[in-house]
Chains A and B, each alone.
Chain A
Amino acid sequence: MDRLKTFLRHPTGMIGLLILGAVVALAVLAPTLFPDDPWDMVGAPFQPPGSEGLPLGSDMLGRNVAAGIAYGARVSLTIGVASTLAALFIGVTIGAIAGYFGGKVDDLMMRITELFQTIPGFVLAILLVATIGPTLTNVIISIGAVSWPPLARLTRAEFLRLRGREFVQAAVCQGQAPLMVVLRHILPNAVSPIIVTGSLTIATAILIESALSFLGLGDPNMMSWGLMIGASRTVIRQAWWMSVFPGVAILLTVLAINLVGEGLNDTLNPRIARKVRTA
């Protein structure tokens, strides 16, 4: 409860939460706000913002840009969250194993992690999507596969820190199985930084997805912000609104998630949290 209160008093965190809430609401309400398919050509092409029934204008085929942004929010958030969950699962598992067992196991796990870290994440994501084919699931898998190394290293560091603590030693001495020790004693104490990093990973995932779609490597059946920008990039001299609005949507969403992440960081860090509380 205390932590919630602290977060609510965190000004930038709250701004982020409000914007993010608006984006989530837009995503949830998309079918109610725009009953037509966002791919439907509902009006004349190249209509500027403010035209009849087209608050944000229409694109080169006469599709509603506003509807595209609403449905794009669904794609971006889905991919952001799902690929982060995938990254968390891989990263935390590897980091936990490495940190808990140490020694040769640690070495092996960290060498694997470094292998992934030496390849630029975005390039690897492009390679993966191009190889396994651009579908929604594959994009999620690819982004997840390039986003986990920082999480693994973070988890490992936390585990190394906690591994030697008395309460952990006590649990081990009582003969609890390693899995129980990890899940019940270490992980709950390591979760705060993981949550913070995880929230920032969502923002990165959304950016990677947008960049992939921009390059034409997104799922061609999904209306996403990156795809909208990629498609209208070439007509920017005639129709700025087709790329600017999805760009603003990406900017706001990523900014909001970063603000929330920062707020969480301050809230979950006991030292900073106390300062905020007493301020």
Chain B
Amino acid sequence: MNRREFAKLSVAAGALGLSGIPLGITRAVGQTRGGTLNTIIQPEPPILVTALNQQQPTLTLGGKIYESLLRYDFDLKPLPGLAQSWEVSPDKLTYTFKLFPNITFHDGTPLTSEDVVFSIMKVLIENHARARSTFSRVDKAEAPDPLTVVFTLKKPFAPFLTAFDCTTAPIVPKHIYEGTDYRQNPANAKAIGSGPFKLKEWVHGSHVHLVRHEGYYRPNEPYLDEIIYRVIPDSASRSVALEQGTVQLTQWTDVELFEVPRLSKLPNLTMTTKGYEFFAPHTWLEFNNRIAPMNDKRFRQAVMYAIDRKALLNRIYFGLGKVATGPVSSKTKFYEKDVKKYDYSPDKAKALLDEMGLKPGPDGKRVAIPFLVPPYGETHQRTAEFLRQSLAKVGIDLQLQGIDVGGWAQRFGNWDFSTTTTTVYQFGDPALGVSRSYVSSNIRKGILFSNTSGYSNPEVDRLFEEAATATTDEKRQELYSQVQKIMVEEVPVAWLLEIDYPNFMDKRLKNVITTAIGVHETFGSVSFG
């Protein structure tokens, strides 16, 4: 053991002693410092300030620049982030966070509890829809001393502790943003955060260059000297860049799914689908529950039986994912697996359709249903073709309608559709990412990712509401299990798959995917060897 390793170990031990909570992230002894990580950002983000823009590329890149109070392990248990410890009062109304000392922003100013309160209660509430829905439940946020933040809620909100990852609650410097128009602030171009990397240069259309933040509060971190995010719009070129080693890491849809089997065999790369647990992308066939025959439970069940979802997973998603069993992803908390099963059975589907009185006509077709093909690339197009063939076998004539991006969002959001497919993130807790798609109070015209299907069941509304405010996990599990059983029986939408995205990385890279937000994490502990 050399001196540096010893120092690292003793600091780690000290941190453990301070917080009393295991850090969760494995710290390999003898990580090397230095090196440049080249990776891809696609499409190029419009801005790097994650508090102001939450498009996926912004969040991927901004995670290195802006940090938040907590991190989450793969089971979505909180780990220390900027906060070294936290306490929840017995009545579940008061949350107290203790920050690490010596945190500084990239401009050298210390990060204090004032910055946290300002970021969350001002910037995020005004600019971040997902953060707003959680933090608008805060009655008051206080900073009694520079290292302590206290949130008091209006009433208990169980998933409150799940909202402090760096994509939901990034901390921005108060001294730069206070009293300004946040969106027009010239400092947005400098992207000053407190993360392990700071912005050196952004050449639009080419790359974003991040370098080490020397004043980072975690000892020895970051290990890498610099990270370069390259903009590569063409998917074939992205694969080639990975193959040739020009980039050492890809994420999300950087690599087309059909390339995955081939690239997985390359000796210098490893592939993992971990690191998307927090997002848990859930894909389904959405029915407009307002119109016949989609307003009939039996029709929706028939569709569930008619789709061979295992074949869909294997043929179109190349096995990257799992068949979804209900509204909650198996990666999300409070998943219930003991629900009604819809195994592939065209006969059951036909029986249900017969029972409804939808008899096949002379051409074998029972009913024609329009389907808006989501204009987001090949996988969606192939999925649409797959669904049409599957449903044709039971006499449902799914008529595909091609449409552009704006048109899809506009018609889907305004309920001007019969069926389409959509993918929704779950954000770790049913109260954050699941209930929004099904509760009546979220039937809001013109808003995507609200309850667009128009499904409405007072019992489901009640259970979701109670589960969100229940104070013990046992109680919540019970309520969510109940609601999942009801919904899987009623199938407001036909859940298809839980999608996994592949992360490819150079075999020399260490500690890339350490938490449930995967590639969005700070990358402070990432190193080459």
Q: Which residues of A contact B (CB under 8 A)?
A: 37, 39-41, 45, 60-62, 130, 133-134, 216-221, 231, 234-235, 237-238
Contacts and interface: CB of A to CB of B under 8 A. Distances in A.
A130 B404 contact: yes
A219 B384 CA distance: 13
Contacts of B375: 216
B204 interface: no
A176 B293 CA distance: 60
Contact of B402 (A41, A60, A216, A237): A216
B402 A45 contact: no
Interface string B416-441: 00000000000000000000000000
Nearest to B398: A221
Contacts of A238: 258, 262
A234 B256 contact: yes
Nearest to B404: A130
Nearest to A219: B402
B332 to A, nearest CB: 30
Given A130-B404, A217-B402, A231-B381, A37 B258 contact: no
Contacts of B373: 220
Interface stretch (B146-154, B385-393, B490-498): B385-393
Nearest to A236: B236
A39 B315 contact: no
Nearest to B314: A45
Q: Report, nearest first, the 8 A-B pairs whose CB atoms are least far apart.
A: A220-B400, A134-B402, A220-B402, A39-B389, A221-B400, A235-B258, A61-B315, A45-B315
A217 B373 CA distance: 12
B236 A39 contact: no
Central interface residue in B258, B389, B400, by most chain A CB within 10 Å: B258
Given A220-B400, A234-B256, A238-B258, A61 B386 contact: yes
A61 B262 CA distance: 17
Q: Is the interface of B mostly helix, strand, loop or mixed?
A: helix
Contacts of B399: 221
Contact of A220 (B235, B392, B401): B401
Contact of A234 (B235, B315, B403): B235
The contact size tier of chain B is 20 to 34
A133 B315 contact: no
B382 interface: yes
Contacts of A218: 402
Given A45-B315, A220-B373, A234 B378 contact: yes
27 contacts: A37-B392, A39-B385, A39-B389, A40-B389, A41-B315, A45-B315, A60-B258, A61-B315, A61-B382, A61-B385, A61-B386, A62-B315, A130-B404, A133-B403, A134-B401, A134-B402, A216-B375, A216-B402, A219-B402, A220-B384, A220-B385, A221-B388, A221-B399, A231-B378, A231-B382, A234-B235, A238-B258
Contacts of A231: 378, 381-382
Nearest to A223: B385
Contacts of A41: 311, 315, 386, 389
A156 to B, nearest CB: 37
Nearest to B239: A237
B388 A39 contact: yes
B486 interface: no
Contact of B258 (A40, A134, A234): A234
Nearest to B402: A134
Contacts of B315: 41, 45, 60-62
A200 B392 CA distance: 38
A219 B403 CA distance: 11
A62 B385 CA distance: 12
B330 to A, nearest CB: 26
A237 B261 CA distance: 13
Given A133-B401, A221-B399, A234 B381 contact: no
B389 A37 contact: yes
Contacts of B241: none
A60 B382 contact: yes
A43 to B, nearest CB: 11
Nearest to A62: B315
Contacts of B404: 130
Contacts of A237: 236
A238 B239 CA distance: 13
A216 B384 CA distance: 13
A225 to B, nearest CB: 16
A128 to B, nearest CB: 14
A58 to B, nearest CB: 11
Contacts of A133: 401-403
B316 interface: yes
Nearest to B403: A133
A235 B316 CA distance: 13
Contacts of A219: 402
Contacts of A60: 258, 315, 382
Contacts of B400: 220-221
Contacts of B401: 133-134, 220
Nearest to A44: B315
B279 to A, nearest CB: 25
Interface in B17-67: none
Contacts of B384: 220
